[in-house]
Structure 1
């Protein structure tokens, strides 16, 4: 039996739990999106090496299968994970998190990449 979904409010303020953000979709129906996300099971202890990344992959698959929640979207797992990892690595390489950055940014906001537009929206 899957563990219950734990829903938690978050913000875009940079925290130790949030390195970067990648926008992958425009939401068409927030209630439908919440319904889908709440139905994605937590498989800890049931599936070997299962983790939060596996949960996100399954969530994207379920969102893609139910098109009423999103409008324009990039939901292909390989595309999303590659873009998110590359963007995070670019931020690490540019010293965004170690205090050695040579560019201006708001240290309170998480760096954000818009995959739909193919551009950074928060440095």
Structure 2
């Protein structure tokens, strides 16, 4: 489930305000500056993930994804989301279902969360 969550990052970014001056990656961030972390960028970091643009279900370090935030900003529902995905895929696989995507998804207009509103599929089983 971690690799699916890493690959299909639901939250687009998180913004914070710097509480003190700091140098990060050779750049100076001053107290009061607004900074953003783009989750998809972190989840596709080539220094962390080998072949980051490829979905690899057996990826050994998939749990290092940032999709649920980190530290005190970690999503409180992250374990529930992982469990829901695990149960969904266990049931799909146990029933031998085939899911065919018929057209590309459409998404809600949002610059914060990637929310599919429509994804036509055909389920064979």
- TM-score bracket relative to the smaller structure: 0.3 to 0.5
Question: Structure 1 length as normaliser, TM-score?
Answer: 0.35
Structure having the higher Rg: 2
Tell which has more relative contact order, 1 or 2 (C-alpha 8 A, sep 6+). 1
Larger proportion of helix: 1
Larger proportion of strand: 2
